[in-house]
Structure 1
Amino acid sequence: MLPTVRSFSLLFVFFLVVSLAFASESDHKYQPDDPVTLWVNKVGPYNNPQETYNYYSLPFCQIAANAAHKWGGLGEVLGGNELIDSQIEIKFQKNVDKASICEIELDAAKVKQFKDAIENTYWFEFFMDDLPLWGFVGELHPDKNNDNKHVLYTQKNIVVKYNGDQIIHVNLTQDNPKPLEVGKSLDLTYSVKWISTNITFPRRFDIYLDYPFFEHQIHWFSIFNSFMMVIFLTGLVSMILMRTLRNDYAKYAREDDDLETLERDVSEESGWKLVHGDVFRPPRNVVLLSAVVGTGAQLAMLVLLVILLAIIGMLYVGRGAIITTFIVCYALTSFISGYVTGGLYSRSGGKNWIKSMILTASLFPFMCFGIGFILNTIAIFYGSLAAIPFGTMVVVFVIWAFISFPLALLGTVVGRNWSGAPNNPCRVKTIPRPIPEKKWYLRPSVVSLMGGLLPFGSIFIEMYFVFTSFWNYKVYYVYGFMLLVFLILIIVTVCVTIVGTYFLLNAENYHWQWTSFLSAASTAVYVYLYSIYYYYVKTKMSGFFQTSFYFGYTLMFCLGLGILCGAVGYLGSTLFVRRIYRNIKCD
């Protein structure tokens, strides 16, 4: 748990978030023989990325109690990082052939800890000048007998490339494996070699980017395929709907028909025109609908803003920079959720706007908090670094209470006064019209479930790259691709929801508001189903801890995605419905 002073210092770091995201704490410049700190971070099973522990939870060389800790900000703590000074002596441009770190006396408990770690393929992470180094604790030798098949790497070879007075690249290799035997002592050693390079400082992170994976031909093909889907879908929607509506307008606008034709049209008249007196009737549970639509509008703007900042600022470079930026941008965009909610709730005739505002400000954060609380309890039970310290929770709560909540309140007030006046094209009738029975595929539940298929198809391939990046140690950096896919998702969602809404209205069902929201939100259901497939087929994760974190984080992501897509679908359908009823004669 973080000390109180450090906890509140994170709050100060929040106000300096721009410098956190786009700059570092130092200038990364060294003079010959200047000390260079090697920070140890975490250790854990390689196949379980979130199951990480303090490096010294294994009986490596113990450090002094006053060893320096490095806290890189809110996002780094939430990301499960805890950097501790290894106290290994390294100086800039000074080679070390071989030096001792410490000597470990192996007893039964230490041998058991190391053997368990080796059997579970434990890896560790170091940092030097904000550059990561990775290695495995040891390995198994299957050709040896059961007692001596576990070997521990005792020699760490660090190769550092530098350009002038700046460190460009670091690499770690290990050798001199020693068997683990009770009563024996192991001398842990290290070496450091400095090599000059011509690579410039701005390009030093390129080595961590997997260009062949992310820029594979299939990635480009998926973008092109999704783009063609957008063109086809928007063209199809425009052609079918505009042509159909034009015919409907012409039929309903005829005034010079003879009596027989008019009577025939009236007897055959059906479709969206008949529900003009109910289509703008306030939906059921308008408080909740207003809250989720407002929250979804905020999330859509948040995602767009974070992607743009990532493209401009290369946020993948800094530890936890994406998380920090996401939290700050969420707080600052809370005005949007309040504005959309306030306007929608007021136009629907709602009177309890304070309840609507509180629900909007707390809906998504408290859902995430509920899931996070369960995961945090599991992490604390396991003693993992994934456990969020209490002080960090306080900081996040302060950000929500003093920035996000007031902005949501302000947005609600502005939305009620600026866009809250009812201006429906058609008057709502006093008695609701009965909804006739229709075929099974025109039921709201079926329309809602089928509505997410095409939007999911447009982001299917990108989901694979995002999941692989998050769960398989790859640095995601192709935010230009993500921006295109996000825009494609928005367009496809709007088009599909409009089609579903039109079919529903043609079936004389005027409960289109929740159907349009759920139709678009069902995209998240298919993403979650895909995540189940990905877990069992594409990963080697195991254990209750990692399984809980995988499905918990995925549920949190899908809830946000569902609310985002649902809001986009609802807002698109609202514009469509208002547009088609604006040009008819409402009795």
Structure 2
Amino acid sequence: MSLRTRNNQRMQPEDDVTYSTFVVVQTRWRRRHVATFYLPGVAPTEFQEGQLVDIKAVKLTSTKTQLPYEFYSVPFCQPVKGVFYKSENLGEVLRGDRIVNTPYVVKMKENKACQVLCMDKNMKYVSKSLSKDESEDFKEKIFHDYFVHLITDNLPVATPIKMPGGKTIYERGYRLGSVSGKEAYLHNHLNFILHYHETEHNTFRVVGFEVEPKSFKRGEIIFDEKDGQCKFNNPKNPHKVGGEAGDVLFTYSVEWQQSSVVWASRWDNYLAMNDVQIHWFSIINSVVVVFFLSGILTMIMVRTLRRDIAQYNKDDDLDETIEETGWKLVHGDIFRPPRFSKLLTSFVGAGIQIFCMALITIFFAMLGMLSPAARGSLMTVGIFLYMFMGLFAGYFSARLYKTMKGLQWKKAAFQTATVYPGIMFGVCLLLNFFIWGKHSSGAVPFTTMLALLCMWFGISVPLVFMGFYFGFRKQAYEHPVRTNQIPRQVPEQTWYMNPFLG
């Protein structure tokens, strides 16, 4: 057996990585071993038996209101040692994620039949007392179909749903409660089903995180205040919330199951969810049709316009000009500089800036560098790329501005760097005030807004001016048709042809 074959056999499938992970393999043939390392934040975490597996909360979301909320915006049980928020990147903050610790105690390969969640300051397990307003808050969010999102080892929780045909589909997160008529029932018991994969080093990796939410009435669960162990007393009635104050007992159970799924494939169930399925056939079909029709239309227009442009570049006879009708009458006024040339160049530059940002972002996403495992990376990369693409926006805007015989290039550059971002920032700021009023986690914090302003005026604006400087020194674009020196007289339009009514 050759040395290359022996080295390949040592690389087991368990040591592979996801498509989003870069692996650098350094092979030393003399020492006959292979060394690998992963990028920080995407390496698999290996647990020992009995080691604590942290379960953290992300947020509450709903498809009806589109307003995310923090996990503790509703009166869930809080850890005795206090609430600690995880430091997040820019994308996570803008998405409304507020990752925080929870009082769930889960250890690797240790099952729990039933465990009470809430503890008081005396380290006794108790039920949660809800006021009338807190109970109504639960009821309102249940009626708005809110989902609770938890994560462990950066893997989000999913609710399995068995279909009539035997197929199992998954929902991301779990429903806060259920609705029956005008009554709302809180899911106060969570059955966690965690899947683990054992490596060749006798360590374990979390490859699945499922939850089965249930609702049990307070009096149908018996528990011990010292150790928190509980058992169900023939539960039949769900726990109703809303209308009046009361006590609710939050409990959970843990079930570990061994799985043959490797760490590299643990995201497959999430990518196959109904809400994230991509209809590739429809997309490809639409793209092919659009390109086919665009190609035919382009060929027809190019052949027609090429003949017309060649004719217009000659000396026109008066008789031929009189015979022309329609859009051909204004061919000598098409490329006349508009009245607000600086405003036009600013929006053209903004479009180029967004196009370059989207193109590079899609390219990196195709390489797998912006996978769902890297939470918030897509939005973070998009914002930073938009800032750096200001160089291209300034360059092409300057050449267009010079083509329109503009002279105030500094004012044009300032408009290119501020008009479109200023409009978007103003609209987002106005909407942010309403989101703040709802106490939603989707509201952008004041410090994050200051950071965005610093990135705007510290990165984007200087790059736009730099691109404008180099672009204005380049030669202007050449028009395919000569522009008449005397503008054509525009006839007076009727009242319903006014631009404000259009």
Q: Same fold (TM over 0.5)?
A: yes
Choose the corresponding residue for 2:84, options 44, 65, 68.
68
CA distance in 1: counterparts of 2:130 and 2:329, whole angstroms: 84
Q: Give the root-mean-square deviation of aligned CA atoms.
A: 3.4
1:573 is matched with: none
Q: How far apart are the structure 2 equivalents of 1:393 and 1:361? A: 18
In the aligned structure 2, how far is the partner of 1:432 from the partner of 1:302?
A: 38
Question: Secondary structure of 1:418's partner?
Answer: coil
Give the direction of change, closer, same or farther, for the CA distance of 1:390–1:266 in structure 2 (3 Å limit): closer
Paired with 1:408 and 1:191, the residues of 2 have a C-alpha distance of: 57
SS state at 1:51 partner: coil
Tell me the secondary structure at the aligned position of residue 254 of structure 2.
strand
Q: Does 1:308 align with 2:370?
A: no
Residue from 104, 116, 120 that aligns with 2:128: 104
Q: Is the 8 A contact 2:353 2:390 kept in 1?
A: yes
Deviation at 1:160, TM superposition (A): 0.8
> How far apart, CA to CA, are the structure 2 residues paired with 1:211 and 1:185?
36
CA–CA separation in structure 1 for the residues paired with 2:250 and 2:432: 34
Deviation of 1:337 (Å)? 0.6
How far apart are 1:186 and its partner, in Å?
3.1
Q: Distance in 2 between matches of 1:216 and 1:376?
A: 31
CA distance, structure 1, for counterparts of residue 275 and residue 55 of structure 2: 30
- 1:115 paired residue among 139, 150, 162: 139
CA contact (8 A) 2:197 2:206 kept: yes
Q: Quickly say closer, same or farther: Cα 1:360–1:98, change in 2 above 3 A.
A: same
TM-score, normalization by structure 2: 0.73
What is the CA–CA distance in structure 2 between the aligned matches of 1:212 and 1:46, rounded to whole Å? 14
**Secondary structure at the counterpart of residue 53 of structure 1:** coil
Correspondences of 1:347-426 after superposition (within 5 Å): 347-419=403-475, 421=476, 423-424=478-479
TM-score (norm 1): 0.63
Cα separation, 1, equivalents of 2:405 and 2:104: 68
Following superposition, the deviation at residue 334 of structure 1 comes to: 0.8
The CA distance in 2 between the partners of 1:365 and 1:248, in whole Å, is 38
Name the counterpart of 1:324: 380
Shift, 1:41, TM fit? 2.2
Say yes or no: does 1:151 pair with 2:172. no
Evaluate the alpha carbon distance shift between residue 118 and residue 232 of structure 1 in structure 2; reply closer, same or farther with a 3 A threshold: closer
Q: Secondary structure at the match of 2:188?
A: strand
Residue in structure 2 matched with residue 92 of structure 1 by the alignment: 108
Give the equivalent residue in structure 2 for 1:47: 64
Higher strand proportion: 2
1:402 Cα offset (Å): 1.6
Q: Secondary structure at the match of 1:97?
A: strand
2:210 match: 171
- Residue in structure 1 matched with residue 49 of structure 2 by the alignment: 32
Alpha-carbon offset, residue 426 of structure 1: 6.0
**Given the alignment, which residue of 298, 306, 329 partners 1:237?**
298
How far residue 243 of structure 1 moved from its aligned partner, in angstroms, is 4.2
Residue 183 of structure 1: how far off its partner (Å): 6.7
Say whether residues 1:227 and 2:288 are aligned partners: yes
1:532-551 counterparts in 2 under 5 A?
none
2:430 alignment partner, SS class: helix
1:336 Cα shift? 0.7
- CA distance in 1 between partners of 2:449 and 2:351 (Å): 24
Larger radius of gyration: 2
Is the counterpart of residue 206 in structure 1 residue 268 in structure 2?
Answer: yes
Tell me if structure 1 keeps the 8 A contact 2:59–2:71.
yes
Q: 1:42 to 1:407 in 2, by over 3 A?
A: same
Which amino acid in structure 2 is aligned with residue 47 of structure 1? K
Question: Greater helix share, 1 or 2?
Answer: 1
After superposition, the Cα gap between the structure-2 partners of 1:97 and 1:246, relative to the gap in structure 1 and judged at 3 Å, is same
CA distance in 2, matches of 1:324, 1:396: 11
User: Is the 8 Å Cα contact of residues 332 and 484 (structure 2) preserved in structure 1?
Assistant: yes
Gaps in structure 1 of 5+ consecutive residues? 1-17, 256-261, 450-587
SS in 1 for 2:194: strand
User: Does the aligned pair in 2 maintain the 1:111–1:180 contact within 8 Å?
Assistant: no
Kindly indicate whether the alpha-carbon contact (under 8 Å) linking 2:197 and 2:259 is maintained by their aligned counterparts in 1.
yes
Percent identity (aligned): 27
Aligned to 1:574: none
Aligned to 2:223: none
Alpha-carbon contact 1:310-1:316 (below 8 Å) kept: no
- Look up the equivalent residue of 2:137 and give its one-letter code: Q
The change in CA–CA distance for 1:434 and 1:65 in structure 2 (over 3 A counts) is: farther
How far the C-alpha of 1:263 sits from its partner, in A, is: 7.6
Describe the superposition over 1:312-371 as per-residue Cα deviations: whole angstroms up to 9, x where unpaired.
124333322211111011011110111111111122221221211111111222122111
